[in-house]
């Protein structure tokens, strides 16, 4: 009887561990980032972020993460379907307080059209767009090669004024189709040509 009890205990522990592993693996497959690419004509870096709003969603949706050398404190999230910037990630923010989500009325196609004071104070990573279970967006895993986050003295101030606008935006490249959602996630796939996001400063 004593041995039987041990067997039951081991089986229960194994089942619990398997369940935890399945949940972790399932969460990992909900989203992933591609490698960084560089837009020479308009001088910004971008990577594609793929995600599933729910576990039952077939295929992936995608947004872009854009890093502008002229705005070195942040990485901006861009929705190519809505053609709007909807939030930004603060590179030197405190752990757990790095993301600012814009109100729908403050979102815009051009980053220059968004007032600095429209961005709320940074908070936790938001939930995946249209998710029903509250799974958060993964923190940005890396920066473009050669880019380092600004030091504490360069961190953004809540009352910081937006710098003067630079000369007009560069001409938009010929329209290209958005990348098709991948059928299976791949951790940091090798860089490859991708359609460029239709966004500029």
Under DSSP, is residue 15 helix (H, G, I), strand (E, B) or coil?
A: helix
- State the maximum Cα–Cα separation within the chain, in Å, rounded to a whole number: 82
What are 170-200's pLDDT values in tens digits? 334 333 334 443 334 444 443 333 445 555 5
Compute how many other C-beta atoms are within 10 angstroms of the C-beta atom of residue 66: 24
Burial class for 161, CB neighbours closer than 10 Å (0-12, 13-18, 19+)? exposed
Could you tell me where the DSSP H helices lie in the chain? 2-28
Burial class for 57, CB neighbours closer than 10 Å (0-12, 13-18, 19+)? middle
Per-residue pLDDT, averaged over 126-146, amounts to 95
Among 107, 139, 138, residue whose Cα is nearest residue 120: 107
Placement of tokens 């600012």 in the chain: 100
Placement of tokens 């606008």 in the chain: 165
What are 76-109's pLDDT values in tens digits? 999 999 999 999 999 988 888 999 999 999 999 9
pLDDT at 3: 56
Distance in angstroms (rounded) separating the CA atoms of residues 171 and 157: 32
pLDDT at 117: 96
Placement of tokens 């969603």 in the chain: 57
Per-residue pLDDT, averaged over 56-81, amounts to 96
């Amino acid at each position: 009887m004593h041995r039987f009890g041990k067997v039951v205990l081991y089986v229960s522990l194994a089942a619990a561990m398997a369940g935890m592993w399945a949940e972790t693996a399932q969460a990992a497959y909900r989203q992933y980032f591609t490698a960084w690419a560089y837009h020479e004509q308009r001088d910004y870096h971008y990577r594609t972020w793929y995600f599933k709003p729910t576990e039952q969603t077939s295929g992936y949706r995608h947004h872009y993460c854009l890093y502008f050398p002229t705005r070195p404190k942040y990485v901006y999230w861009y929705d190519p379907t809505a053609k709007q910037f909807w939030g930004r990630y603060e590179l030197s923010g405190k752990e757990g307080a790095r993301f600012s989500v814009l109100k729908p009325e403050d979102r815009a196609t051009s980053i220059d059209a968004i007032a600095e004071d429209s961005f709320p104070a940074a908070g936790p990573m938001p939930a995946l767009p249209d998710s029903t279970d509250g799974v958060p967006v993964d923190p940005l895993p890396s920066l473009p090669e050669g880019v380092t986050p600004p030091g504490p003295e360069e961190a953004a101030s809540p009352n910081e004024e937006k710098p003067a606008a630079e000369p007009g935006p560069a001409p938009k490249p010929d329209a290209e189709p958005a990348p098709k959602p991948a059928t299976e996630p791949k951790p940091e796939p090798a860089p490859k040509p991708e359609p460029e996001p239709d966004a500029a400063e």
